[in-house]
A and B are shown apart, each in its own frame.
Chain A
Amino acid sequence: MATTDMTIAPEADYDGFVKEEHHHDYAGDTLLGFWIYIMSDCILFATLFATYAVLGTGFAGGLTPKDLFDLNFVAVETALLLFSSFTFGMAMLGAQAKDESRLFKWLGVTFLLGLAFLCMEMYEFYHFSSEGADPTTSAYWSAFYALVATHGLHVFAGMCWMIILVVHIKRDGITEENHTRLACLSLFWHFLDIIWICVFSMVYLMGVM
C-alpha cells in the first residue's frame, strides 16, 4: 500500500528523457557534493591547526614568531585575499547576467589578486628561511610552514582552476555546466578566505602578542 504513494505518473509529453528538471537537480547535487568536499577540507585544516596549537611553543631555542612576523605585511596579504573574495562575487554576478566580458574582467582581477597574494607568501617563506627559520628549524616552524603552505597550495589550485574554467567558457559559453563549475569554484575561493581569517587570527596576530 505504501509504495503506491511513491509512484508518480509521467508527464503527458514524457519521451523517456527527463530534460529540465534532471539538469537542475544535477547542478544542485554537484554543489552539495562539492560543499561536502569543502567540509572534509575543513577537517584537514582542523588537524593542521591542532598540530600548530600543540607545537606552538616548540622553538628549540631558535627564532620565535615575534622575531620575524611583520603585521603590516600580513595586513596587505589579508586585504588582497579579502578583495579577491569580493571580486569573485562580482564575477559570479557577471555569470548570472550571462555577461561574458564582465565575468572575465572580474575573474581576471580575482586571479591577479590571488597571484599577488601567492607572490607575497612565497617572498615571506623565502625571507623567513634566509633569516634562519626554515621548516627543519624547530617543531614550531614545521607546523607553521605545513599550515600556511597548505593554504597557499589551495590558492594555487584555485588559480589553476580559474584558468581551466576560462578556457571552458571561451569554448562553450556560460552553459549550465560551466555555471555549476563556476559556482563550485566560488564556494572554494570563499572557503579559502574563511581559512585565511583563522590563519591571520591564530598564527599571525596571536603569534606576535
Chain B
Amino acid sequence: MSTSKTHGGAAHGSVKEYVWGLIWSVILTAIPFGLVMSGALDSGLTLVIILLCAIAQIFVQLVFFLHMNTSSEQSWNVVSGVFIVLITLIVVLGSIWIMQHLNHNMLMGH
C-alpha cells in the first residue's frame, strides 16, 4: 500500500500505520490510568508522567492517524500548528500566571 501520495497536506495511511498508532495510544493511555488508579508513585512524579504520556500520545496520533510529517507539502500545516501551540501556551500558562498573582495580591491565595 502506498503512503507517498499526498492530498494537499493529508497523506494517505496504511493498515499497519493505524494499528501501530492504536497500539501506542493504548500503551500511553494505560500508563497514566494505571499509575493514578494504583497510586504506586508519589503525586509529583505521577503528574509529570501523566503530562509526558499526554504529549507523547498527541504526537503519536498526529504522526500515525493524521499522517503529519516534515515534507514540503505539509509545511503550512506544520507552521500553523506550531503557531497555535504557541498561542495555546500563552493563553493557558498566561492565564494561570496572571490569576495566581491576582489571588496573591487580593490575599486569596490560600
Inter-chain contact A35/B47, CB cutoff 8 Å: no
Assess whether A160 is interfacial by the CB under 8 Å rule. no
Contact bitstring A177-209, B, C-beta under 8 A = 1, else 0: 000100100110010011001101110011011
Name 23 A/B residue pairs within 8 A (Cβ), A-sorted. Answer: A28-B9, A29-B8, A31-B8, A35-B80, A43-B84, A43-B87, A43-B88, A85-B61, A86-B22, A89-B65, A90-B15, A92-B12, A93-B13, A93-B18, A186-B10, A190-B61, A197-B29, A197-B61, A201-B32, A201-B53, A201-B54, A205-B50, A209-B43
Pick the contact of A53: B22, B37, B92 (CB < 8 A). Answer: B92
> Known contacts being A78-B29, A82-B25, A208-B36, is A50 close to B91, with CB within 8 Å?
yes
Contact residues of A with B, CB < 8 Å?
Answer: 24-25, 27-32, 35-36, 39, 42-43, 46-47, 49-51, 53-54, 71, 75, 78-79, 82-83, 85-86, 89-90, 92-93, 96, 180, 183, 186-187, 190, 193-194, 197-198, 200-202, 205-206, 208-209
Closest chain A residue to B89, Cβ basis: A46
Find residues 73-93 in chain B having any chain A CB closer than 8 Å to their own CB: 76-77, 80-81, 83-84, 87-88, 91-92
Find residues 40-76 in chain B having any chain A CB closer than 8 Å to their own CB: 43, 46-47, 50-51, 53-54, 57-58, 61-62, 65-66, 76
Smallest beta-carbon distance B3→chain A, Å: 11
Q: Would you call the interface of chain A mostly helix, strand, loop, or mixed?
A: helix
Give complex CA distance A60, B50 in Å: 27
User: Number of B residues contacting the other chain (C-beta, 8 Å)?
Assistant: 46
